[in-house]
Amino acid sequence: MTAVFKNPVIRWIDHRLPVFSYLQHEANDYPTPKNLSYWWNFGSIAGFMLMVMIATGIFLAMQYTPHVDHAFNSVERIMRDVNYGWMLRYLHMNGASMFFIAVYIHIFRGIYYGSFKAPRELLWIIGVLILLLMMATAFMGYVLPWGQMSFWGATVITNLFSAIPVVGDSIVTLLWGGFAVDNPTLNRFFSLHYLLPFVILGVVVVHVLALHRFGSNNPTGIDMKGPQDSIPFHPYYTVKDMYGLGVFMLFYAFWVFFAPVALGDPDNFIPANPLSTPEHIVPEWYFLPFYAILRSIPDKLTGVLAMGASIAVLFILPWLDRSPVRSGAYRPAFKRFFWTLVFVCAILMFAGKYAPANYWLPFELTIVPPEYMAAQAHLESVDALWPISFAGGHFGIQIITLGQIATVYYFAFFLVILPLLSIFERTLPLPLSISKAVLESHGGGAQSSSAAAKEKA
Amino acid sequence: MADHAQSAPGAGGTRRDFLYLMSASAAAFGTAAVVWPFISSMNPSGDVLALSSIEVDISGVQVGQAITVKWRGKPVFIRHRTPEEIAAAKKDDPQVDPANPKVIVANPAGLRDPQTDASRVQKPEWLILVGVCTHLGCVPLGQKASDPRGEYGGWYCPCHGSQYDTSGRIRKGPAPLDLEVPLYAFETDTTVKIG
């Protein structure tokens, strides 16, 4: 397994600590399916974003003061006085959004191509764990500038734990270190916000180790059957990853330099005031779907459980989708339900953004308060309105109802549709091998027989 | 990398070599352009630089007394020297070329960092110095009447025993240079602006 190196120093070290052999094996020769599409770029892009977040974060922490009296001003000082402080902060702020974009695409790719299926279940579960850690890190980071949305976001999210019966209130007090979100809360959030990215880094290493056990999945979802199906990772995928990364960095740079606050909330430019809640509290865009699920259920405990379940269901995904065919490309029915799921997640994001009582008029592309709908329908009270209303020729659907329909689909997709599809779906014939599939898509010979779906399982 | 270069036809100077060189240069240039803002952010920020000068009222400092003020986070010594201290400082002056006072022609007192007292003060009775030992940055003693001032009546650094004279010149101990004279100007007879 040890590689031969020309440089005697490297050879000396490698003989005693085979780190270079390991790199040669896992990052250079590493046999990779030769048909990976650009959807496979987002793993390395997410890894790159983690590095960016750690680097900018370390330098921001050199200037930041975790104290309720100084936090907001120290961030303003970073923006105004620190050399390139504005750039570090905007890279970090927008970097969080870019990290989530990359990770969400990475997750949807995994669902579509069945990358979670045997033998990669543990790889998938570790990935969901990374998502959870990211969410905790992003939430605590958002509290640090100590603006209005920081403070009230922290209040609302920590209060979720008060839904737990009996011990809920004690847990919330423990999280706060007091009787409200205050200086002790800010201090511990800063400490944990600095710690967790390194925990994520460790879990990412485990994620990559688990990946390299069986190698990458691929758009056909069938296993590599020999050297003809694979190419070495370097230079083919290092170059492909770098190209994709370059394009992604252009996208990232657009936000940082041309719309740095577009993804944020204007209320967070007001210093935190524990005596006055902003009119409308919304999380950052990447939490909106989960927020919509929380609000869809009018009961406190059930709402919190549903929000938790929306992530938890991902952990058991490998045992919900039992179809032996991995790739969605060969599953016509699954494909439709999958894209509906993507659309529904967008709807959830939309529903999470607006006040639940409002009405969305899809044909007029506008959102109106319930009073407007009641007036259109000549009703005296908004209580008489239906959640879906044709008041005065205006078709409107209440935001909360929209969220509820989307929530039902979200859970149905995982808990009902996938298990049923596993039994009833007629899948398309699989290509004999990755090589055959590649040649066919370029006008090669006709396909007569098909490969077994999962040989390593 | 070398393994794959073999696939290119011909020995040296292939298109692939050119691409490697260009990609590596672009990556190196890009990395440097990204690293610079990070390094620069650690330099003094705008609000720190804005505090770089202070005004001090010296009307209350009697002959023989000294005060310490904080400038850029460091102590500045302002000593109202007695005629004896001025005379002691001048006595050990090196001889300079009258045409060019910066050129030392003789150094009878054996000063380690020879400077004339006149070159270190604007008004002989007011000696203004950065109170940081040039050895390793401690604050020398000698501002208070009860402090040890060393053999030369100036300042004595408690950390490693450097001794300075009544012009703040290093005379004994490990420090290599005289105490630094900051940039300053007398705005009135009783106000001095430092920095």
Tell me which chain B residue has its CA closest to the CA of residue A52.
B34
- What is the DSSP track for A247-284? HHHHHHHHHHHH-TTTTS-GGGGSBP-TT---SS----
Average pLDDT value for residue range A51-74: 97
d(CA B180, CA B49): 20
Residue A457 has pLDDT above 90, yes or no: no
* B182 and B112 fall within a common domain: yes
The pLDDT of residue B109 is: 86
B31 and B86 part of one domain: no
CATH number at residue B120: 2.102.10.10
Q: Which residues contact A203 (CB under 8 A, 6 or more apart)?
A: A126, A129, A130, A133
Are the CB atoms for A396 and A359 separated by under 8 Å?
A: yes
Q: Which of A64, A163, A132 is nearest to A315 (CA)?
A: A132
The nearest CA of chain B is from the CA of A120 a distance in Å of 31
Mutate to test the interface with B, among A24, A81, A234 (most CBs of B within 10 A): A81
The reply to whether B28 and B70 lie within a common domain is: no
Question: At residue A330, does pLDDT exceed 60?
Answer: yes
Asked if residue B165 and residue B77 are part of one domain, the reply reads yes
**Pairwise CB contact (< 8 Å): B41 & A85:** yes
User: Distance, in angstroms, between B1 CA and closest chain A CA?
Assistant: 8
Selecting from B1, B41, B47 the residue whose C-beta is nearest the C-beta of A84 gives B41
Contacts A6 to B, Cβ<8 Å = none
Given a contact cutoff of 8 angstroms between Cβ atoms, the answer to whether A128 and A311 are in contact is yes
Write b or e for each residue in A173-206: b if 16 or more Cβ atoms lie within 10 A of its Cβ, otherwise e. eebbeeeebeeebbeebbeebbebbeebeebbee
For residue A62, the chain B residues in CB contact (below 8 A) are: 41-42
Q: In the prediction, which pLDDT does A443 show?
A: 56
Q: pLDDT over 70 for what percent of chain A? A: 96
Q: What is the pLDDT of residues A208-240, one digit of tens each?
A: 999 999 999 999 999 999 899 999 999 899 999
Q: Does B1 touch chain A (CB under 8 A)?
A: yes
Q: Which residues are A333's β-sheet partners?
A: none
Residues B161 and B143 reside in one and the same domain: yes
Give tens-digit pLDDT for A92-136: 999 999 999 999 999 999 999 999 999 999 999 999 999 999 999
Over range B89-116, report the average pLDDT. Answer: 87
What is the model's pLDDT at position A444?
A: 47
Q: Number of structural domains, chain B?
A: 2
Determine the Cα–Cα distance for residues A183 and A332; give it in Å rounded to an integer.
Answer: 54
Non-local (6+) Cβ contacts of B160 within 8 A are B133, B135, B136, B138, B173, B174, B175
| Chain A hits for B1, Cβ within 8 Å | 235
Dig out the tokens for A167 from the structure. Answer: 């011990």
Q: Does residue A89 have a pLDDT over 60?
A: yes
Q: Where are the alpha helices (DSSP H) in A385-429?
A: 399-412, 418-424
How far B183 CA lies from chain A's nearest CA (Å)? Answer: 25
A447 Rama class: left (phi>0) / alpha (psi -120 to 50) / beta: beta
Q: Locate the chain B residue with the closest alpha carbon to A55.
A: B38
Q: What is the DSSP letter of B117?
A: S
Q: Report the DSSP beta bridge partners of residue A230.
A: A33
Residues B73 and B124 in one domain: yes
Provide, as residue numbers in chain B, all residues whose Cβ is less than 8 Å from the Cβ of A83: 37, 40-41, 43, 45-46
Provide the domain limits for residue B15: 1-43
Which of the listed residues B43, B60, B77 is the one where a domain comes to its end?
A: B43
Same domain, B108 and B186: yes
Same domain, B118 and B150: yes
Calculate how close chain A gets to B130, using CA atoms only, in Å.
26
In this predicted structure, the answer to whether residue A450 has a pLDDT above a threshold of 70 is: no
At CA B50, angle to CA B49 and CA B51, rounded to 5? Answer: 90
Active site residues of B: 160
Clarify whether residues B54 and B131 are in a common domain.
Answer: yes
Residue A229, judged by CB atoms within 10 A of its CB (0-12, 13-18, 19+), counts as: buried
pLDDT > 90? residue A390: no
The helix (H) or strand (E) run that includes residue B135 is none
Using the predicted structure, report yes or no on whether residue A309 has a pLDDT greater than 60.
yes
Cβ pairs A/B, distance under 8 A: 38
The C-alpha of A24 sits at a distance from chain B's nearest C-alpha, in angstroms, of 11
Residue-level pLDDT at A447: 47
- For the stretch A10-50, pLDDT in tens is 999 999 999 999 999 988 999 999 999 999 999 999 999 99
Length of chain B: 195
Mean pLDDT of A363-374: 89
B55 shares a domain with B31: no
Is A62–B41 a contact, with Cβ atoms under 8 angstroms apart? yes
Q: Confirm or reject contact between B47 and chain A (CB < 8 A).
A: yes
Q: What is the pLDDT of residue B195?
A: 84
Q: Does the distance separating the beta carbons of A63 and B41 come in below 8 Å?
A: yes
Query: Phi and psi dihedrals of B97, rounded to 5?
Result: -65, 120
At A454, the pLDDT band (50, 70, 90 cuts) reads low
Q: A81–B47: do the CB atoms touch at under 8 Å?
A: yes
> Is the domain of B59 the same as that of B145?
yes
Measured between beta carbons, the chain A residues lying within 8 angstroms of B38 are: 55-56, 59, 84, 88
| Structure-block tokens of residue A113 | 């191509």
- Angle formed at CA A57 by CA A38 and CA A53, multiple of 5 degrees: 5
- Residue in B closest to A238 by C-alpha: B1
pLDDT at B108: 86
Q: Is A73 on the interface with B (CB under 8 A)?
A: no
A249-297, pLDDT tens digit by residue? Answer: 999 999 999 999 999 999 999 999 999 999 888 999 999 999 999 999 9
Q: What is the pLDDT of residue A2?
A: 62
CB of A128 closer than 8 Å to CB of A314: yes
Residues B36 and B53 in one domain: no
Cα-only R_g, chain B: 27
| pLDDT at residue B4 is higher than 70 | no
A279 is catalytic: no
Residue A284 annotated among the catalytic residues of the structure: yes
Q: Which of A115, A216, A296, A310 is catalytic?
A: A216
User: Cα separation of B191 and B185, whole Å?
Assistant: 9
pTM for the complete prediction? 0.88
Contacts 24+ apart (CB under 8 A), A188-191: A189/A66, A189/A140, A189/A143, A189/A144, A189/A154, A190/A64, A190/A66, A190/A140, A190/A144
